[in-house]
């Protein structure tokens, strides 16, 4: 780095290329790239990491045997448990709540509040989470939450948009629940005190999102998920609902009927296990970005390691749509310190264009995410019109300064304080200069199959949020993820509460399903040292790992 | 045998995927020191470590061999889990940072503060309302502010923390809510405050009060909720749920896009 | 005339009646009191310890804000700041003196503030609104603007401590002040002198020992009644609270006690200028003054 000359946060050679972006901006303002035809979309999608060869394989065991999923996911499904069921003492129960919620993001926390509202006393709920309560993908959601509340919009249109975005693979009844609950869940948040962006007359300031045919994004600057999470968490804490941090579930418990009846937790700091016996278990563990599927960087938080899917699968839960992965088109590609971090789609809805090395806007900025991402990969690696960073990463420009030209001076600062701040930390002023972007691993489209009430095919096991599958089909739309957490957090909380109130008889606690799964692994001839869930990624230096001695 | 066009394309795409994987490996796997040209020395809790010069504090600690349980969360500047304090070589100033959002500099002395000890007061806004008296009841220490501005200097989000505290003292919740909005609740202000104010919990309460009592109900939202409750869309949904994906696709194709 | 104005927290919360009546009355007199765009608590109480510099940060920071108003051209060459609240006035003025009289203290404070503030030059002057009325505007001009003279009203001025003590910061003769009297006369009222007009109201004792403060208020208000006055006038939000709101406790301790209205001087000025209800905000006074006013004025 020392021999590179830097201008406003960029090495000199990149800064020279930025001049081209400046020069072409006014022309690009007038001529916007058209949308692709369905045929053109099909063509460009061939380079999408989901469809490019070599990324996926068949799952050989379990309820989804024969289905295809990314190698990194299959690796975890075809892996041995962290515990030996024979060594776990299930007779000493440490916690005995009515409802166990695994996962401390927006979905899990929302579920806790609604279970409490529906007759489960706070002390009979237990929320456990791997990191701190709220350290989740939820807080990183920037763009907004969809809810069709404007007069020219309707839940019907939201439904159609969501189905189309998901390539019509979504479960329609689940999507209906998503869109019909959306306005009332926004109201719930407002009544809890969440501050959404409003205009001077008190109306929500709503922008559109890729794949949405109306403006229905409810945002709070570019801290939307953070605002939703912290308000809901604050209320959770006011209610006195018990929460265990740094205590991930490492296995579910089943009884002799095969119902899910709690979990084995692992206290990451003391390294002891704890037994939770619960009448109902809600899984809200989020997604899998930290698996770095196909070697992509990710927008996801530190703990996004697919744990919930692994646990549920062993307990017999069916998965769906695990074959598709959402790559966000615009992850940071420069500087090195923030590679893969999210640049919200809202930047493009607000007017920023995606531009190649010659200053051409080569793709309409509002194509669905998979199409947009593929177009960027094609531009960089097939048409060779990307920009290469000093560390060898290719990307294209996201022309953020255009937003101020379209929406008026100061709009970038007002709409995207978080982005302005992040780039400022590395010496780049995004109100003046474009930033370099490349697709980044963003979202687990599929997951544990849910019905409209957050129920899975396994009795006693409920799901909400990113861990679930069915609502987004093969591709999630912007603004539907926080909505998913909220709507199905509420639904799973209520359904679980009703399930508990209907009278649940728990038989003997067992890990029979794990034993059975291990046998199936062995019988299928899967010999591996892999163990799952992995809980956290490992980024320690190679030299350190090579000389590591595990003493304590 | 000559490869078909399809096979060639397939090979080419596979190669592209491999190249992308290779270019990103410094952030997706542990770093191999053989590939590093530029180094700096940092002091993690006093111990010197040589680390690559273009890493964040968090990445550098990982490179040095630390595997985080605490002290890492979103890794993108939103969660506040990686609050860090540090001094630079030859400087008396105690600086603050988010480990995931700050590049290493040669000669940094650093330690993480992964948890700010503080109890969150419990309140019920529906019962207690949102007056200044309610805020004072739960956060009496706010009156101890001496306007030293240390909180502001400690904020890794560069918020005007003291101005927000002062606004609360005079009941200006709107100012405090709007200007504390980007708070990620890392707690660094509260660790540094000589008046021992718990800013991040206090701001949370004030924002909720402002969001709940300080803005009018949204007319469009109220109207749409009523329509849904009255079953306005039921009939159409029943029809849509019976359609095949092909039929839905047709509707999707023809849908009107209104984004202005 | 535009002049920087420091409100203080109380004027934005419990003493809104003091602020609205003052600002509007000032307008009538051709003065625009321009609120500091950014300000913090005055410090609430002047710290007497000479080495306790941290408690000087709040007041000095406010004086820097006045400096900034000049630098930014919000006011032109106006190195004075007008204060309405007696407590804020007392704290700001004493802190100002404290750093002006010892350059070393000023330097230490400036050094501490230097990360975020320009240094305080030491040439801001803190004045009370009454001083502005007396010295810049003049009571003659006040009298000219009176539309509704308060002629049937017998008023006892009450100064309390903060405008007059310590002597170095006093806005008037600490033993026999006249400024409120002169103002009230200009408004056409009858001034009634009372023995206890500079006595302490009990100040912050009101927080923990409200019975004690109720007794003090009882003594002061009885003196007012004996002197034949209909009501009391004060300039200080804390005196107002102790003499007005604490009458509730006085009644409990002395069932025979009859309440007596207490006004801010600015409320009476606004009333005499006939500015309208929204600028009097009598609804914020604990003892409802309307019966008295309708009897004597309207």
Q: Are B248 and A168 in contact (CB under 8 A)?
A: yes
Q: Does the beta-carbon distance from A540 to B181 stay under 8 Å?
A: no
pLDDT of residue A1: 45
Task: Identify the residue whose tokens are 């007199």.
Answer: C29
In the beta sheet, which residues pair with residue B112?
A: B84
Residues of A in contact with B224 (CB under 8 A): 148-149, 183
pLDDT of residue A512: 97
Q: Does the beta-carbon distance from B147 to C57 stay under 8 Å?
A: yes
Inter-CA distances, A273 with A45, A95, A130, A253, Å: 45, 12, 13, 13
Tell me the DSSP string of C169-213: G-SS-SSS--HHHHHHHHTTPEE---TTTTS---TTHHHH-HHHH
pLDDT of residue A3: 65
Residues of B in contact with C120 (CB under 8 A): none
Q: Does the beta-carbon distance from C41 to B172 stay under 8 Å?
A: no
A451 and A423 within one domain: no
Angle, in degrees to the nearest 10, between helices A106-117 and A224-239:
40
* Count of A-B CB contacts under 8 Å: 300
Task: Evaluate whether chains B and A are touching (3 or more beta carbon pairs less than 8 Å apart).
Answer: yes
Write the pLDDT tens digit of every residue in C185-236. Answer: 999 999 999 989 999 999 989 989 999 999 999 999 999 999 999 999 999 9
d(CA C218, CA C246): 9
Q: Is A32 or B226 the better-scoring residue by pLDDT?
A: B226
CA distance B5 to chain A (A): 14
- Quote the domain boundaries for residue A101: 96-142+224-324+445-469+476-501
**Which DSSP state fits C134?**
I
The pair of three-digit structure tokens given for residue C143, joined into one six-digit string: 């009298």
Q: Which of B91, B170, B172 to mutate to test the interface with C (most CBs of C within 10 A)?
A: B170
Q: Does the beta-carbon distance from B162 to C57 stay under 8 Å?
A: no
Q: Which of C13, C88, C112, C237 to mutate to test the interface with B (most CBs of B within 10 A)?
A: C13
Q: Do the domain assignments include residue A118?
A: yes
d(CA A277, CA A532): 22
Inter-CA distances, A28 with A22, A333, A492, B145, Å: 10, 23, 47, 52
**B193, pLDDT greater than 90:** yes
**B249, pLDDT greater than 70:** yes
A340 and A233 within one domain: no
The pair of three-digit structure tokens given for residue B1, joined into one six-digit string: 């045998």
CA distance C19 to chain B (A): 13
Nearest CA in chain C to B168: C9
The pair of three-digit structure tokens given for residue A283, joined into one six-digit string: 């899984």
Judge whether C208 is closer than 8 Å to chain B, CB to CB.
no
CA distance B167 to chain A (A): 18
**Averaged over C160-178, what is the pLDDT?**
95
The chains found to touch A (3+ Cβ pairs under 8 angstroms) are: B
Angle, in degrees to the nearest 10, between helices A512-523 and A307-314:
90
**C289, pLDDT greater than 60:** yes
pLDDT of residue B93: 95
Please state the domain extents for chain C: 2-129, 146-296
A273: CATH: 3.50.50.60
The pair of three-digit structure tokens given for residue B10, joined into one six-digit string: 């397939």
A399 and A297 within one domain: no
Residues of B in contact with A168 (CB under 8 A): 245, 248-249, 252
**Sequence-distant contacts of A32-40: CB under 8 A, at least 24 apart:** A32/A353, A32/A361, A32/A364, A33/A353, A33/A361, A33/A362, A33/A363, A33/A364, A33/A365, A34/A364, A35/A364, A35/A366, A35/A367, A36/A363, A36/A364, A36/A367, A36/A371, A38/B253
Q: Do the domain assignments include residue A187?
A: no
d(CA C108, CA C53): 8
CA distance B244 to chain A (A): 9
Q: Are C146 and C69 in contact (CB under 8 A)?
A: no
> Chain C 112-131, CB below 8 Å of chain B: which residues?
112-113, 115-116
Q: Does the beta-carbon distance from B170 to C13 stay under 8 Å?
A: yes
Inter-CA distances, A297 with A300, B97, B138, C75, C226, Å: 9, 23, 43, 54, 84
A401 and A252 within one domain: no
Q: Do the domain assignments include residue A33?
A: yes
CATH topology of domain C146-296: Rossmann fold (3.40.50)
In the beta sheet, which residues pair with residue C82?
A: C5, C127
Q: Which of A302, A407, A552 to mutate to test the interface with B (most CBs of B within 10 A)?
A: A302
Residues of chain A with pLDDT under 70: 1-3
How many other C-beta atoms can be found within 10 angstroms of the C-beta atom of residue A503?
7
Number of H helices, E strands in chain C: 14, 8
**C141, pLDDT greater than 70:** yes
> Chain C 15-34, CB below 8 Å of chain B: which residues?
none
Q: Do the domain assignments include residue A486?
A: yes
Write the pLDDT tens digit of every residue in A17-50. Answer: 999 999 999 999 998 899 898 889 999 999 999 9
Write the pLDDT tens digit of every residue in B61-120. Answer: 999 999 999 999 999 999 999 999 999 999 999 999 999 999 999 999 999 999 999 999
Q: Does the beta-carbon distance from A148 to B224 stay under 8 Å?
A: yes
Q: Do the domain assignments include residue A210?
A: no
Average pLDDT, chain B: 96
Inter-CA distances, B202 with B137, B141, B142, B208, B214, Å: 11, 10, 9, 10, 17
Q: Does the beta-carbon distance from A296 to B20 stay under 8 Å?
A: yes
Write the pLDDT tens digit of every residue in B112-158. Answer: 999 999 999 999 999 999 999 999 999 999 999 999 999 999 999 99
CA distance C91 to chain B (A): 13
CATH of domain C2-129: 1.20.1050.140
> Cα Rg for chain B, rounded, in angstroms?
27
3-state secondary structure of A177: helix
**C238, pLDDT greater than 60:** yes
Q: Which of A191, A193, A374 to mutate to test the interface with B (most CBs of B within 10 A)?
A: A193
Q: Does the beta-carbon distance from B54 to A337 stay under 8 Å?
A: yes
pLDDT of residue C245: 96
**Averaged over C147-164, what is the pLDDT?**
95
Domain boundary among A440, A457, A491: A440
Residues in B whose CB is inside 8 Å of some CB of C read 132, 143, 145-149, 152-153, 162-163, 166, 169-172, 194
- Max distance between CA atoms of chain C, in angstroms, equals 59
CA distance B93 to chain C (A): 10
pLDDT of residue C45: 82
Q: Do the domain assignments include residue A18?
A: yes
Return the exposure string of A225-241: e unless at least 16 CB atoms fall within 10 Å of the residue's CB, then b: bbbbbbbbbbbbbbbeb
A314 and A370 within one domain: no
Q: Write phi, then psi, for A428 (nearest 5 degrees).
A: -115, 125
Would you please indicate which residues of A are annotated as catalytic (active-site) residues? Answer: 328, 348
Q: Which of B147, B166, B176, B179 to mutate to test the interface with C (most CBs of C within 10 A)?
A: B147
Counted domains in chain A: 2
CA distance B122 to chain A (A): 5
Q: Which helix (H) or strand (E) holds A493?
A: helix A481-501
Closest by Cβ to B33, choosing from A52, A393, A543: A543
Judge whether C9 is closer than 8 Å to chain B, CB to CB.
yes
Q: Does the beta-carbon distance from B147 to C61 stay under 8 Å?
A: yes
Q: Does the beta-carbon distance from A544 to B181 stay under 8 Å?
A: no
The pair of three-digit structure tokens given for residue A257, joined into one six-digit string: 């009927």
Q: Write phi, then psi, for C154 (nearest 5 degrees).
A: -100, 115
Q: Does the beta-carbon distance from C13 to B132 stay under 8 Å?
A: yes
Q: Does the beta-carbon distance from C115 to B153 stay under 8 Å?
A: yes
Write the pLDDT tens digit of every residue in C145-155. Answer: 999 999 999 99
Residues of C in contact with B171 (CB under 8 A): 9, 12-13
pLDDT of residue A270: 97
Judge whether A242 is closer than 8 Å to chain B, CB to CB.
no
The pair of three-digit structure tokens given for residue A370, joined into one six-digit string: 């998979």
Task: Evaluate whether chains C and A are touching (3 or more beta carbon pairs less than 8 Å apart).
Answer: no
Q: Do the domain assignments include residue A416?
A: yes
CA distance C284 to chain B (A): 16
A351 and A482 within one domain: no
A433 and A336 within one domain: yes
Number of alpha carbons in the 13 Å side-chain half-sphere of residue C279: 19
Angle at C175 between CA C170 and CA C179, to 5 degrees: 60
**B250, pLDDT greater than 80:** yes
Residue length, chain C? Answer: 298
A490 and A404 within one domain: no
**Averaged over C79-85, what is the pLDDT?**
98
Q: Does the beta-carbon distance from B33 to A393 stay under 8 Å?
A: no
Q: Does the beta-carbon distance from B169 to C41 stay under 8 Å?
A: yes
Q: Do the domain assignments include residue A421?
A: yes
A371: CATH: 3.90.700.10
pTM over 0.90: yes
First to last CA, chain C: 33
Task: Evaluate whether chains B and C are touching (3 or more beta carbon pairs less than 8 Å apart).
Answer: yes
A275 and A343 within one domain: no
d(CA C2, CA C145): 19
Write the pLDDT tens digit of every residue in B18-36. Answer: 999 999 999 999 999 988 9
Ordered structural domains, chain B, with CATH: 36-112 (3.10.20.30), 125-213 (1.10.1060.10), 219-254 (no CATH)
d(CA A215, CA A110): 25
Q: Does the beta-carbon distance from C40 to B148 stay under 8 Å?
A: no
Residues of B in contact with C61 (CB under 8 A): 147, 149
Residues of A in contact with B217 (CB under 8 A): 190
Judge whether A27 is closer than 8 Å to chain B, CB to CB.
no
**Averaged over C105-122, what is the pLDDT?**
96
CA distance B12 to chain C (A): 56
Q: Which helix (H) or strand (E) holds A417?
A: helix A417-425
Q: Does the beta-carbon distance from C113 to B171 stay under 8 Å?
A: no
Task: Identify the residue whose tokens are 């129960």.
Answer: A93
* Burial status of residue A16 (CB atoms within 10 A of its CB: 0-12, 13-18, 19 or more): exposed
Q: Which of B146, B148, B158, B169 to mutate to test the interface with C (most CBs of C within 10 A)?
A: B146
């Amino acid at each position: 780095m020392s021999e590179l000359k830097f201008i406003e946060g960029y090495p000199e050679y990149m800064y020279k290329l930025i001049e081209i972006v400046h020069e072409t901006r006014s022309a690009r303002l007038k001529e916007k790239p058209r949308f692709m035809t369905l045929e053109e979309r099909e063509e460009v999608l061939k380079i999408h990491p989901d469809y490019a060869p070599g990324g996926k394989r068949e799952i050989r065991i379990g309820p989804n045997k024969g289905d295809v999923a990314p190698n990194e996911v299959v690796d975890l499904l075809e892996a041995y448990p962290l515990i030996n069921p024979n060594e776990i003492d299930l007779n000493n129960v440490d916690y005995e709540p009515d409802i166990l919620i695994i996962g401390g993001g927006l979905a899990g926390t929302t579920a806790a509040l609604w279970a409490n509202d529906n007759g489960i006393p706070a002390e009979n709920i237990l929320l456990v989470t791997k990191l701190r309560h709220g350290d989740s993908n939820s807080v990183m959601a920037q763009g907004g939450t969809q809810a069709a509340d404007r007069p020219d919009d309707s839940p019907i249109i939201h439904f159609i948009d969501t189905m189309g975005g998901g390539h019509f693979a979504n479960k329609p009844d689940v999507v209906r629940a998503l869109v019909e609950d959306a306005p009332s869940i926004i109201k719930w948040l407002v009544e809890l005190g969440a501050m959404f962006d409003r205009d001077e007359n008190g109306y929500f300031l709503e922008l559109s999102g890729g794949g949405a045919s109306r403006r229905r994004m409810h945002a709070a600057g570019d801290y939307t998920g953070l605002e939703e999470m912290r308000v809901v968490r604050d209320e959770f804490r006011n209610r006195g609902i018990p929460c265990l941090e740094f205590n991930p579930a490492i296995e579910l418990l089943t009884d002799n009927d095969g119902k899910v009846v709690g979990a084995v937790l692992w206290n990451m700091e003391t390294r002891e296990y704890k037994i939770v016996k619960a009448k109902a278990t809600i899984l809200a563990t989020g997604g899998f970005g930290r698996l770095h599927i196909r070697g992509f960087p990710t927008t996801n938080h530190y703990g996004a390691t697919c744990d919930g899917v692994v646990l549920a699968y062993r307990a017999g839960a069916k998965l769906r749509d695990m074959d598709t992965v959402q790559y966000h088109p615009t992850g940071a590609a420069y500087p090195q310190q923030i590679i893969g971090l999210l640049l919200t789609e809202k930047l493009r809805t607000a007017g920023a264009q995606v531009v190649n090395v010659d200053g051409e806007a080569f793709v309409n900025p509002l194509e669905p995410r998979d199409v947009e991402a593929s177009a960027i990969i094609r531009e960089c690696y097939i048409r060779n019109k990307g920009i290469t960073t000093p560390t060898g990463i290719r990307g294209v420009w996201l022309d953020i300064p255009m937003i101020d030209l379209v929406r008026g001076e100061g709009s970038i600062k007002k709409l995207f304080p978080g982005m302005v701040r992040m780039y400022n930390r590395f010496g780049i002023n995004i109100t003046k200069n474009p930033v370099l972007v490349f697709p980044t691993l963003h979202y687990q489209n599929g997951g544990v199959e849910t019905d409209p009430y957050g129920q899975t095919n396994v009795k006693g096991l409920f799901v909400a949020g990113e861990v679930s599958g069915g609502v987004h089909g093969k591709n999630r739309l912007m603004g539907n993820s926080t909505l998913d957490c909220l709507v199905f957090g509420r639904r799973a909380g209520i359904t679980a509460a009703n399930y508990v109130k209907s009278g649940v008889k728990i038989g003997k606690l067992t890990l029979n399903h794990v034993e059975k799964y291990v046998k199936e692994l062995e019988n299928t001839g899967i010999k591996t040292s892999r163990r799952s869930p992995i809980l956290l990624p490992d980024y320690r230096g190679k030299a350190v790992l090579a000389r590591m001695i595990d003493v304590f | 045998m000559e490869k078909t066009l399809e096979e060639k394309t397939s090979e080419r795409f596979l190669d592209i995927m491999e190249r992308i994987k290779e270019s990103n490996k410094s952030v997706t796997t542990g770093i191999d020191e053989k590939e590093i040209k530029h180094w700096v020395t940092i002091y993690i809790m006093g111990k010197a470590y040589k680390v690559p010069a273009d890493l964040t504090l968090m990445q550098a600690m990982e490179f040095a061999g630390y595997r985080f349980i605490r002290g890492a969360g979103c890794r993108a500047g939103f969660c506040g889990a990686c609050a860090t304090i540090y001094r630079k070589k030859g400087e008396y100033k105690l600086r603050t940072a988010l480990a995931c959002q700050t590049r290493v500099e040669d000669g940094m002395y650093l330690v993480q503060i992964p948890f700010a000890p503080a109890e969150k007061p419990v309140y019920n806004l529906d019962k207690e309302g949102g007056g200044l008296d309610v805020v004072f009841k739960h956060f009496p220490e706010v009156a101890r502010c001496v306007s030293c501005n240390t909180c502001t200097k400690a904020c890794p989000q560069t918020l005007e923390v003291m101005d927000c505290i002062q606004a609360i003292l005079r009941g200006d919740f709107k100012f405090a809510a709007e200007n504390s909005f980007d708070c990620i609740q890392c707690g660094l202000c509260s660790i540094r405050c000589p008046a021992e104010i718990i800013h991040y919990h206090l701001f949370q309460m004030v924002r909720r009060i402002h969001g709940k009592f300080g803005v009018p109900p949204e007319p469009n939202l109220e109207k749409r909720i009523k329509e849904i409750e009255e079953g306005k869309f039921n009939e159409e949904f029943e029809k849509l749920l019976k359609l095949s994906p092909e039929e839905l696709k047709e509707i999707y194709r023809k849908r009107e896009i209104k984004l202005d | 005339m535009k002049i920087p104005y420091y409100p203080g927290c109380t004027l934005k919360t419990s003493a809104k009646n003091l602020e609205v009546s003052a600002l509007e009355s000032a307008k009538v007199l051709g003065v625009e009191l321009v609120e500091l765009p950014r300000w913090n608590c005055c410090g609430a109480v002047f710290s007497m310890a000479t080495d306790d510099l941290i408690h000087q940060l709040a007041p000095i920071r406010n004086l820097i804000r006045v400096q900034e108003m000049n630098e930014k051209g919000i006011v032109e060459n106006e190195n004075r700041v007008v204060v309405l609240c007696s407590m804020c006035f007392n704290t700001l003025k004493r802190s100002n003196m404290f750093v002006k009289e010892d350059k070393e203290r000023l330097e230490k404070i400036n050094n501490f503030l230097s990360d975020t503030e320009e240094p305080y030059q030491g040439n801001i002057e803190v004045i009370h609104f009454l001083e502005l009325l007396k010295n810049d505007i003049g009571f003659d001009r006040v009298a000219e603007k009176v539309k509704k003279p308060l002629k049937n009203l017998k008023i006892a001025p009450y100064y309390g401590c903060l405008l007059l003590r310590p002597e170095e910061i006093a806005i008037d003769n600490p033993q026999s002040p006249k400024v409120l009297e002169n103002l009230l006369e200009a408004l056409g009222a009858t001034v009634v002198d009372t023995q206890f007009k500079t006595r302490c109201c009990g100040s912050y004792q009101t927080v923990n020992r409200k019975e004690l403060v109720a007794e003090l208020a009882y003594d002061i208000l009885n003196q007012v009644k004996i002197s034949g006055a209909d009501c009391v006038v004060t300039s200080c939000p804390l005196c107002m609270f102790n003499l007005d709101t604490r009458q509730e406790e006085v009644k409990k301790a002395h069932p025979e006690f009859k309440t007596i209205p207490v006004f801010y001087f600015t409320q009476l000025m606004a009333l005499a200028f006939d500015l309208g209800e929204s600028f009097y905000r009598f609804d914020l006074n604990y003892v409802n003054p309307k019966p008295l006013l309708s009897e004597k004025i309207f």
